[in-house]
């Protein structure tokens, strides 16, 4: 779920049990931080993202 309250974005990751993880920022910021390992989302499995995966996530540079 993505919530915008007066221009302040928050990403909520729900585990289905009424508990959620909140990330304040944009969806692209959340994806970058989670996939790069900058943050750990406790609602995802412990091995996410899989460090042995051949897929990579690289931020675009201006």
Which residues touch 10 (CB under 8 Å, ≥6 apart)?
2, 3, 4, 22, 23, 24, 25
Give the model's pLDDT for residue 14. 86
Residue 4: pLDDT over 60: no
Return the SS3 of 35.
helix
Report the pLDDT value the prediction gives residue 22, as an integer from 0 to 100.
Answer: 92
- In this prediction the pTM is 0.65
The DSSP secondary-structure symbol of 2 reads E
Tell me the pLDDT band of 55, cut-offs 50, 70 and 90: low
């Amino acid at each position: 779920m993505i919530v915008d309250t007066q221009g302040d974005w928050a990403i909520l990751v729900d585990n289905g049990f009424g508990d959620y993880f909140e990330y304040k920022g944009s969806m692209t910021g959340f994806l970058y931080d989670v996939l790069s390992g900058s943050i750990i989302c406790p609602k995802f499995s412990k091995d996410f993202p899989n460090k042995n995966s051949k897929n990579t996530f690289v931020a675009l540079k201006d």
